[in-house]
């Protein structure tokens, strides 16, 4: 990614085989021209689907910050995650609260950040990355 570029878009997904079960995340970061500059497919061990979704968000936030992004648009197919992060749903699950708080803390480092819910069909690449991590038990980052 060009150091002068400060805007990025992230597509994220978390998945698991069983709920809970073996879980993984997929994250793809694109620059403002739509060029992919980072991706990962990681097995995160045993977790629920919602925990995997939050882990994917946290990973995307950490990487975007590391790459010097100050503006980030995050797309997720998890309506729960998007609504919780945007304040429309309360976080009732105790296991999600710490992940929610960590994500909110990381979000403070961005000048502009938005998390948007999208249809699964529009999130296929991140979904494939997440699914691949579970099937291959890959941890490439």
Express each pLDDT in 5-46 by its tens digit.
Answer: 599 999 999 999 999 999 999 999 999 999 999 999 999 999
Rg of the chain over CA atoms, in angstroms? 14
- Tell me what pLDDT residue 132 has: 96
Coil/strand/helix, residue 94: helix
φ, ψ (nearest 5 deg) of residue 41? -135, 110
The mean pLDDT value for 95-102 works out to 98
Backbone angles phi, psi at 118, to 5 degrees: -130, 165
Give per-residue pLDDT as tens, 53-86. Answer: 999 999 999 999 999 999 999 999 999 999 999 9
Q: What angle do CA 8, 63, 138 make, to 5 degrees?
A: 115
Task: Name residue 78's beta-bridge partners.
Answer: none
* pLDDT value at residue 61: 99
Tell me the CATH number at 15: 3.30.420.10
Domain assignment of residue 2, yes or no: no
Question: What is the extent of the structural domain holding 70?
Answer: 7-136
Number of domains in the chain: 1
128: which 2 tokens?
């494939």
Q: Is residue 1 part of a domain?
A: no
């Amino acid at each position: 990614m060009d150091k002068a570029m400060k805007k990025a878009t992230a597509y994220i997904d978390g998945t698991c085989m069983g709920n809970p079960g073996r879980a993984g995340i997929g994250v793809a970061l694109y620059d403002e021209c739509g060029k992919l500059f980072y991706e990962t497919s990681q097995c995160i061990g045993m977790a629920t689907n919602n925990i995997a979704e939050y882990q994917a968000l946290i990973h995307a936030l950490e990487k975007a910050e590391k790459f010097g992004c100050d503006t980030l648009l995050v797309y997720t197919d998890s309506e729960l995650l998007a609504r919780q992060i945007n304040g429309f749903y309360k976080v009732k699950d105790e296991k999600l609260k710490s992940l929610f708080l960590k994500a909110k803390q990381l979000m403070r480092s961005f000048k502009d950040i938005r998390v948007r819910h999208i249809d699964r069909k529009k999130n296929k690449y991140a979904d494939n990355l997440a699914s691949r991590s579970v099937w291959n038990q890959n941890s490439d980052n």
